[in-house]
Amino acid sequence: MEGLSIGKLLIVGALIVLLFGTNKLRTLGGDLGAAIKGFKKAMNDDDTAAKQSVPEDKPAEQQTRKE
């Protein structure tokens, strides 16, 4: 066994295209891209929420009162 070569990878890719078709693969790629985009957005939202929830130097009582 030589391992994976470019020729073997091309053959596997061609078989996948023949089995599933280009439309199915295009839909799968779009769904995967949307999932990654949603994951990144959720991670950024979590970071923003964590930064906002950090208390400041003032106690909570002084923050809510208006003098």
Q: Could you say which DSSP state residue 27 is in? A: H
Q: What would the pLDDT profile of 12-56 be if each residue is shown by its tens digit?
A: 999 999 998 989 989 999 999 999 999 999 988 877 777 776 555
pTM: 0.50
User: What kind and span of H or E run contains 57?
Assistant: none
CB under 8 Å to 56, separation ≥6 — which residues?
63
What is the pLDDT at residue 66? Answer: 53
The C-alpha atoms of residue 18 and residue 22 are separated, in whole angstroms, by: 8
60: tokens are 């909570």
How many of the other CB atoms lie within 10 Å of CB of 25? 13
Higher pLDDT: 13 or 65? It is 13
